[in-house]
Each structure stands twice: as C-alpha cells, then as structure tokens.
Amino acid sequence: MRRLNRKKTLNLMKELDAFPKVPESYVETSVSGGTVSLIAFTTIAFLTVMEFTVYRDTWMKYEYEVDKDFTSKLRINIDITVAMRCQYVGADVLDLAETMVASADGLIYEPVIFDLSPQQKEWQRMLHLIQSRLQEEHSLQDVIFKSAFKSASTALPPREDNSLQSPDACRIHGHLYVNKVAGNFHVTVGKAIPHPRGHAHLAALVSHESYNFSHRIDHLSFGELIPGIINPLDGTEKIASDHNQMFQYFITIVPTKLHTYKISAETHQFSVTERERVINHAAGSHGVSGIFMKYDISSLMVTVTEEHMPFWQFLVRLCGIVGGIFSTTGILHGFGRFVAEVIFCRFKLGSHRSTSVPLPDGHTSNHLPPATDNGTH
C-alpha cells in the first residue's frame, strides 16, 4: 500500500514536470551550435562577474527636505593663518539676527611662521590637486563621503624642520558656536571691543604699513568635525598685493545628515564665491581691510544615505542575464540556420540543371529519372 502511494506520488510529480527531458539519442549537435554555446557561456560568465561587482558596490542617495531645526547652535571650525602678529589682529563673529558679537572665546591665537616647510608645501600641493579634481568631477564627493573616518587626516602636518626664524604670523584656530542664522566671521586689525550698536576693533595703535592680510585657510567647516572630509576652502592661500586689502568669502551653508555603513553624523556642506579688492577711499573703494567670511544658511536640508543592492535583486538580475542570453542566442542561432538552409537550397537547385529523357513515342521528358540504389540515374 505504501509503495502504491509512493508510485502515485511520483507519477503525479512527473505529470507536473515543466522541464521535460529529451533523450540524448534524439539530440542533434552541430559545430555552429557549439560555437554559439561557447559564446553564450563566455558572455554569461563576463556579465555575471560585472553584476557581482555592481552588487558589491554602494551608492549615495540624496534626499531633500525643509530644515525645521531653528533652535540648535551652529558650530564653526576654523584654522586660518594670517601674516600678521597676533597682537595686531582680532577675530569675531557678528550675528546679523541679534546684531551683536558672538563669543569668540573658543579661538586660540598661536604665533607661527607663515612660510610653509617642504613637507607642508607638498601637503598643500596635493590638497590643491584634490580640490581641482573635485570641481571637475562632482561624483568624487561620494567617494569622500564613503571614506569618511577611514582616510588619513586632512589637517596641516606640523613643521618637520626646527626653524630658528621668529614667528611672523598668527594662527587662529579652534571652534565656536553661533545662532543658526546668517552671520559674518571676520579677521581684521585690532581686538574686538563690544559696542551698544554693534562692535568695533581697536586699530588706532597699529600703523597701516604693518597691515598684511595675506592668509592661508588650512581648514574651515561647519557642524560636526568629520576627519577625511575635504571642504571647499581647505588649503586656500591668498597673498595681499597692498597693505589695505579686503578679502571676502560669500558662503552658502546646506545642513547635511550623513548616513553611511561606517558613520552617522550631522554636518554641513557649503559653496563659496570669492572677491578681493584694495581699499582706496579716494577712488571710491570703501571698506575695512581684513578677511570677511559672510555665511548664510539654506532652508533646505540634505540627507545623504549610502545604499546597497539587495541580495534578492541581485539574484533576479542574474537570472535575467542567464535566461536572456540563452533565449537570445537560441533565437539568433535558429534564424541563422534558417537563412543558411534557404541560401544553400537555392544554390543547389541552381547548380543541378534539368535533363531530357527520350520516351518511346518520340517525346521527351524534362523530369529527372529516379535514382537507383547505387546512386546512378
């Protein structure tokens, strides 16, 4: 009884077989079929390797929404070197919303040498090269996002030479927190003095001949400090051609949430335009000598997410490749054989001319006589 049920089950499974097998004695092979099969298998192997490479790779997805966070503070990370002594310059932030000076206690003034050492010049040259490539190929920004926290530090390396030259510049570095509104970070002559209507800088004791706002921006970023991220102004160096010269940077900040398989951080991207001019009141060029970074915050927020192809999608694409190539090559092979048979048949019919066979009544027949067993007419 059990064997009978098993036999019925096997017969039922055979009836449900959607892939019937053809005995090998009924299968005809050919050289053309083998050639097409070899091409098909090679193509399948190549496309499978390429598809696996795509499956291993990841890409960055960008989503945009309105930034609804108005209460948090904005962090500014600064590392700038000015070619003037520290007692002659002062840095602060003017909050345009409250028209008051934001606290700049988080900044450190360090006397340094303005000229870079050979190793530092090499670092600056490589940074300029990366910046130029980023401007030409925007897709490289995705590579930088993926390598955040994994790549080498982008900070200026310390001097490797023990120079006995006295410091002639001032490195202003550190971070400070400001309100999340438009503002103006600037470095100018004299220390900042609070004022009821704004602020002022004590510059009366500094002679105009000592003004030199040649500067180098080693780092400028907004938000959380993420090692490996290269910002647009990193490595920028400007040499003043006149004592009374103004350098302006107009910055547009975009809040950014970065989510990759390695990190999850809230940072800010920004774009910048530059302008510089000589202050000459007699010629109508008014202003104050110094370095001014005017920033504004975009109302949109960008969420950058690293995504990966699901495994089920990889299997579906792989099955599509295998099945599609087999079907396509089968159709092409069948069509090629059909065309070849038609051409060869016409060639054979044209090469065999009809012969005339005499009949007993004196007429002739244009039909070919039947072939005998030995192949003769």
Is the pLDDT score of 230 beyond 90?
Answer: no
The C-alpha atoms of residue 268 and residue 315 are separated, in whole angstroms, by 38
The full set of domain ranges for the chain reads 31-58+309-333, 73-245+288-296
In the structure, what pLDDT confidence band is assigned to residue 97 with cuts at 50, 70 and 90?
A: low
Q: Compare 24 and 270 and report the one with higher pLDDT.
A: 270
The whole-number pLDDT of residue 206 equals: 72
* C-alpha dihedral sign at 128, 129, 130, 131: positive
In the structure, what pLDDT confidence band is assigned to residue 214 with cuts at 50, 70 and 90?
A: very high
Mean pLDDT of 67-72: 81
Helix H segments across the chain? 2-15, 31-56, 118-136, 140-146, 311-351
The pLDDT tens digits for 241-262 are: 888 899 999 999 999 888 887 7
Least confident of 9-23, 30-44, 50-64, 334-348: 9-23
**Can you give the pTM of this predicted structure?**
0.68
* Residue 302 contacts residue 258 (beta carbons within 8 Å): no
- In a 13 Å sphere around the CA of 274, the CA atoms on its Cβ side amount to 8
Is the pLDDT score of 313 beyond 50?
Answer: yes
Q: Compare 204 and 305 and report the one with higher pLDDT.
A: 305
The C-alpha atoms of residue 130 and residue 128 are separated, in whole angstroms, by 5
b vs e for 215-248, b when ≥16 Cβ sit within 10 Å of the residue's Cβ? bbbbbbbbbeebebbbbbbbbbebebeeebbbbb
Q: Compare 68 and 372 and report the one with higher pLDDT.
A: 68
Q: Compare 359 and 122 and report the one with higher pLDDT.
A: 122
